Amino acid sequence: MSLKNKLNRMKKHIIREETAAGVKAPLNELPDDVLPHADQWGSIGAFPYVLDEDYCIVREKRYPLDHRHGSYSFRDAVRAVKAWQDFEGEHPLSARGLSPQDLFFFDTETTGLGGGAGNTIFLLGHARITESEVIVTQHVLPRPGSEIPLYHSFLSKVDYTTLVTYNGKAFDWPQVKTRHTLIREHVPKLPAFGHFDLYHGSRRLFKERLGSVKLVNVEKDVLGFHREDDVPGYLAPMIYFDYVERRDPEGIFKVLEHNELDILSLITLYAHLSLTLLNPGEPESFEVGRWLQYTGNKGRAKALFQKIVDEGAKGNDEALHLLALELKKEKDFEQAARLWEKIDEEAAPKLQKAAFIELSKLHEHRFYNLDRAKEYAERAAPMVQQGRESDQLQHRIERILGKMKRQKDGRP
């Protein structure tokens, strides 16, 4: 029997919750040849979303705001959004002007890791924060070719302002756009989102400490969340194709759980990144300062670098260098020089080199002490590799020597 005929048999069982969209069918009354193992799907809170002559599967799960996911509760994300309201600068994670309900935590599972039209999304997962709970919703493609009800069920509920993903700018949302293009005549339009991509924030704050900023590593080492018996993401495509062939959902349920944990971690990671940016402490204060400086929040960055220097915290030498650069821009050359002179011999060679070159510049152009300018340039020389930088430094030394000779000869 064709799927069309099977779905027609379902009509008497359908509960019509929406007249202009798809409809929800009760699992316990569905024929097994329409959705095999319907009772198992029902046990995890899933139901068929029927649209015209096709369907997808939708699952919902709810958590109270006080539910803890590692070291954070979901209420901490609410607290983070509120904390952004007092932030007057610009930042790519700033939720100033937004409410927690405006955020749309989103993740997908696909049949491959590459891009292009041949890569199909078989699971669209998202979460929203309400005043009392977090609601996770997952839209499952029951078989290739059923993307119209999949995207219809997804887009009929999307009314948020800002997308929150982990590398979603490069992967998840472009994939959604690609697949949507193929069926755009049959489903609602894609909304225009703002976008908080937490992957880029994680790279800025944790890359040096963790090395790899895969979400599972960030969960374990930053969020205090440890997965148990989790299905690796790279196995998800094989598990999905096995489900399509055998219709036994046991494996796909593990993929749903994996996707759900990804989404819940987005909520607590957004809380951690936001609260760390707004009230930084060890071990990420220096990285926060660099990020604030990069995003134009120079006053906040300068104050944080000064605090690191005063307390002798991690990143002290790097903070000295960046603080000195800020002071140089403000034309406080004396104080900048004093800071560069504090960078000691145990600092990384690249920092020593940078400090020596900056001190050489100041003594040549601001303090007019050619002997000191020459001294610092020559101290930097052994640390400079052959190439453009070496040529520039050698040119500096020759220029200083030329000035010293003219000065000795009494010439301008």
- Are residues 104 and 199 part of one domain? yes
Q: How far apart are CA 182 and CA 116, in angstroms?
A: 12
Same-domain status, 295 and 269? no
DSSP single-letter state for residue 192: P
| Residue environment code for 198-212, b if the CB has 16+ CB neighbours within 10 A, otherwise e | bbbbbebbbeeebee
Residue 305 and residue 219 share a domain: no
Apex 317 CA angle, 311 and 321, nearest 5:
110
Q: Write down which residue in 232, 249, 278 finishes a domain.
A: 278
pLDDT along the chain (412 residues), means of 10: 54 44 56 77 90 89 97 98 95 95 94 68 96 97 92 84 90 86 84 89 93 95 95 93 94 97 98 94 86 93 91 81 93 95 85 94 95 94 91 94 88 73
Together in a domain, 221 and 330: no
Q: CATH number for the domain including 335?
A: 1.25.40.10
Domain boundary among 278, 312, 347: 278
**Over the Cα atoms of the chain, what is R_g?**
29
- Burial class of residue 89 (count of CB atoms within 10 Å of its CB; 0-12, 13-18, 19+): middle
- Looking at the structure, do residues 361 and 258 belong to the same domain, yes or no? no
Same-domain check for residues 258 and 332: no
Select from 385, 341, 345 the least CA-distant residue to 360: 341
Select from 311, 318, 317, 336 the least CA-distant residue to 326. 336
Please indicate, yes or no, whether residues 42 and 74 belong to a single structural domain of this protein.
yes
**3-state SS string for 227-271:** CCCCCCHHHHHHHHHHHHHHCCCHHHHHHHHHHHHHHHHHHHHHH
CATH number, domain of 267, equals: 3.30.420.10
SS percent in the chain: helix, strand, coil, step 5: 55, 15, 35
State whether 79 and 220 are in the same domain.
yes
Q: How far is CA 383 from the centre of its chain?
A: 36
Domain identity same for 289 and 273: no
CB atoms within 10 A of CB 251: 17
Taking the C-alpha atoms of residue 136 and residue 124, their distance in angstroms, rounded to an integer, is 11
* pLDDT of amino acid 53: 79
**Given this model, what pLDDT does residue 274 score?**
97
The residue segments making up the domain with residue 299 are: 285-408
CA dist 204 and 196 (Å) reads 14
How many domains would you assign to the chain? 2
pLDDT confidence of residue 13: 44
Q: Rounded to the nearest 5°, which phi and psi values hold at 315?
A: 85, 20
Indicate whether 155 and 121 sit together in one domain.
Answer: yes
pLDDT score, position 52: 81
pTM of the model: 0.87
Asked whether residue 330 falls in the same domain as residue 269, the answer is no
Q: Domain end: 257, 278, 299, which one?
A: 278
Same-domain pairing of 27 and 62: yes
